[in-house]
Structure 1
Amino acid sequence: MKILITGGTGLIGKELAKLIMTHELVVLTRNPYRARQQLSYINHDKLKFIQTLDGLNDLNSYDAVINLAGEPIADKRWTKKQKQVICDSRWTITQKLTNLIKQSQTPPKVFISGSAVGYYGNHSVGTFNELNDLHNDRFSHYVCANWEKIALSAQSENTRVVILRTGVVLSTHGGALTKMLLPYKLGLGGTIGNGKQYLPWIHMVDMVRAIVYLLESPQAHGAFNLTAPHPTTNKEFSRTLARCLSRPHLLFTPKWLIKLLMGESSELLLDSLGAKPKRLHDLGFQFHFTRIEPALRNLLHLNH
C-alpha cells in the first residue's frame, strides 16, 4: 500500500509510522533532513519525503492518505493571531488534500483525517458517543466542525473518509502527560477546578492501533471517537497519577486561576468531555488499555 502522511513527524505520526512501515510511506514535511532523522528506523526504500503538495495534480498513485497535520492547540495562549494559525494549519492542508482526491481518476481508497473530541464542546451530561449530536459555540468546536466538513467533502463511492475525534493521547514522549510529570513528581500535582469534568484519554498504543484498524477496515467511514472506553474525571486522573508516582495529592488549582493564566484556552482543561468510542467498539476494535491506572502504570513502567 502506498500511503501519503501529513504530520508524520508529530507525536502520533512517529508512533503510527512504526506500525505501517512495511508499506510505502510518503511523508509531507517542511524539513526532509530532520524528518529522515526522526524516522530513521524505517527502511530508506520504504520512505520518501515531499515538501509541498503544490506540484501534485492528483493522488492517483496513492492507496491511502492519513492527515495528522496541525498546530498544537494547547501550546500557546489563544490570541486572535494564534487562533488563525490553529485553524489555517488544519483547514488549508485538508482542503488541498480534498481537492487532489477529487481531481483523481483513481483516488485513494481511504482518507483518514484528524479532528478532536473538542468537536462536542463542554457537556455536563456525563458520557456520550458519536451518535449524540452535541456541540456548542466553543472555539474548539468551531475548529473541528469546519475541519471535518472539509475532509468529508472528499467522500465518494471510490474514497471512504474516516474522521479521528481524538481525546488526550497519553505518551511519555510528548503531549499532556509529559507536561504533568514534573509537577506531580515534585508533589505539586492536583485537581483542576472542581475535578468533576471528564477527561477523554487514550493510551498512545491504542491510538495508533485504532488508526491502523480503521485504515484496514473497508466498512469504516465517518467520525470515530478515539478515546478509551472508560473516560475518567479530572479528580480521579489526578489522584491516580499521584498514586502511581507515590506522591501526595493535596493541592488543587481553582477555576479562576486557570482562566486567568490561560484565557479562552482554559476550556481545554475545564470542559467536561465524557466521549466514549461506541463506533470503534461496534466495529470490533479491542483496546489494550481501557482504564486509567493500568494505562499510567504501563506508560511509567510500573509493574506493581
Structure 2
Amino acid sequence: MKYQKIVLAGGNGYLGTVLAEHFKTLAAEIIILARRPVSPKGNIKTVVWDGKTAGDWVAQLTGADLLVNLCGKNVNCRYTEKNKQEIFDSRLIPTALLNRVVTEMENPPRIWINSSSATIYRHAEDRPQDELTGDIGEGFSVEVCKAWEHTFFETELPATRKIALRIGIVLGKESAVFPRLYNLVKFGLGGKQGDGEQYVNWIYEQDVARAVEWLLDNPEANGAFNCVAPNPVKNADMMRVIRKACGMPIGLPAPKWLLEVGAAIIGTETELILKSRWVMPQRLLDAGFEFRYPNVEDAIINCLK
C-alpha cells in the first residue's frame, strides 16, 4: 500500500465517496468521519462524530497520511438568514474543531487539505482569476469562503502541511450538477442560461481525486490551490456540448427573469448559475500536474458512460 491511513471528515457525501473510491486501493485504511454509523466496506470504515466536540474519533487522526475536511451544508438553497447561518456554522465549526484537536496531537496528520470554493473570486468575464493575481469578490458566497479559509489558516500547525482546495463545479455521473443539466437537455430545455456568456469553472471528479493525491505526494505544496480544469467554458458552450453528447438538436434558453422565478420555486439562488467563474488552476499547472480530463467534451462523454 502507498499510504497507511486516509481520514475524510464529512466524507459521506458525493465527493467523499469519490475520494474513498480513489484511495481504497492505495491506502491500508480509510476512515470517514460522519454523523451516522455505516457498515464497513472493505478497508473503508465510518467513525461517528458530531463535528462540534472532541471525542473518541480524535484517535483516528493519529499518524494519518492525509486528512481531508469536506464538511459544509450544500449551498444549493435559498439564502434565508437561517440557511446562511447553517452554511457558515457547518464549515467554520468543524474546521476550528479540527485545528484544536490536531494542535494537541503528538503524531498529527502530515497534510490537511481543507475544502474551499473557487467562487471566492469575483464575477469575471474580462480575464481569468488565479491564486496569485485573482481578485477576491464580494457577496455572501465570497464571505463564506473567506471566513472558511481564515478559520483554517489562522492556527499554525508546524507538523501538518495545510492546503485550501478551491474546488470548482465537479462533474460526474452522480454529482450534484450534471444530472440536473442532463435532465434539462433531455426535455429540450438545455439552452443557454441567462445570456450564456458567464464562465463555468468545472472539473471532472477523477481529476479532483488525482489532484488530492498529487498534493499529498508533493511536500512543497501548501497554501491555496485552485482545483478546476484548465479549460473553462462559457455556459452556452457547455450546454451545447451536453446537447451534442446526448444527441439533442434543440435546447430552449432560460432568460434571467425565468431563472429567478424557477430558483424561487425550487428553493435555490440564481447566483449559482449566473455568476461568471473564470478561474485557472495556475499553481497546479506551474507545478507540473497533468489533468486527465482537461476538456469539457471528454468529461461530459465520461459522465454519460
Q: TM-score, normalised by structure 2?
A: 0.90
Q: Which moved more, 1:250-259 or 1:139-148?
A: 250-259
Residue 32 in structure 1 maps to residue 30 in structure 2: no
Change beyond 3 A, Cα 1:131–1:49: same
Q: Which moved more, 1:268-277 or 1:62-71?
A: 62-71
TM-superposed CA distance for 1:109, in Å, is 1.4
Unpaired segments ≥5 residues, structure 1: none
8 Å CA contact retained: 2:243, 2:251: no
Question: Which one of the candidate residues 44, 49, 52 is aligned to 1:51?
Answer: 49
1:5 maps to amino acid:
L
Matched residues in 2 for 1:25 and 1:289: separation?
A: 26
Matched letter for residue 72 of structure 2: G
* Pairs aligned (count): 293
**1:239–1:249 CA contact under 8 A, matched in 2:** no
Please state whether the residue corresponding to 1:174 is helix, strand or coil: coil
Gap change, CA 1:283 and 1:102, over 3 Å in 2: same
Q: Is the 8 A contact 1:200 1:231 kept in 2?
A: yes
Structure 2 partner of 1:283? 287
After TM superposition, give the deviation of residue 84 of structure 1 in Å.
Answer: 1.1
Q: Deviations over 1:246-266 (max 9, x none)?
A: 113341111122234336821
Q: 1-side partners of 2:218 and 2:156: how far apart?
A: 16
Q: Distance in 2 between matches of 1:170 and 1:159?
A: 30
Give per-residue Cα distances to partners, 1:143-194, cap 9 Å, x unaligned: 1111111111244332111111000100111310011112211222110111
Q: Are the counterparts in 2 of residues 126 and 198 from structure 1 also a CA contact under 8 Å?
A: no
What secondary structure does 1:134 align onto? coil
| Displacement after TM superposition at 1:110 (Å) | 0.8
**Equivalent residue, structure 2, for 1:117:** 118
2:205 maps to 1:217: no
Q: State the match for 2:228 in structure 1.
A: 227
Give the direction of change, closer, same or farther, for the CA distance of 1:187–1:250 in structure 2 (3 Å limit): closer
Match of 2:78 in 1: 77
Are 1:17 and 2:20 counterparts? yes
| Letter paired with 1:159 | T
- CA distance in structure 1 between the aligned counterparts of 2:278 and 2:46, rounded to whole angstroms: 39
Which of 294, 299, 303 is the aligned partner of 2:298? 294
Contact residue 49 and residue 55 of structure 2 kept, 8 A: no
What one-letter code is carried by the residue in structure 1 that aligns with 2:294?
Answer: T
Identical aligned residues as a percent: 33
Deviation per CA, 1:33-54: give whole Å up to 9, x if none. 3xx3xx73x33xx635233452
What is aligned with 2:242? 241
2:72 is paired with a residue whose SS is coil
5+ residue gaps, structure 2, are: none
Aligned equivalents of 2:64 and 2:203: distance in 1? 29
Query: TM-score if structure 1 supplies the norm length?
Result: 0.90
Q: Tell me: CA distance 1:293–1:102, structure 2 relative to 1, closer, same or farther (3 Å).
A: same
Most deviating of 59-68 and 103-112 = 59-68
C-alpha separation between the residues in 1 aligned to 2:156 and 2:188?
A: 49
Superposed, 1:1-304 pairs within 5 Å as 1-21=4-24, 22-33=27-38, 36=39, 40=41, 42-43=42-43, 47-52=45-50, 53-55=53-55, 59-74=61-76, 76-262=77-263, 265-301=269-305
Q: Distance in 1 between matches of 2:54 and 2:128?
A: 42
RMSD after superposition: 1.9
3-state SS of the aligned residue for 2:64?
coil
Question: Is 1:63–1:108's contact at 8 Å kept on the other side of the alignment?
Answer: yes
Q: Say if 2:201 and 2:278, in contact at 8 Å, map to a contact too.
A: yes
CA distance in 1, matches of 2:63, 2:212: 21
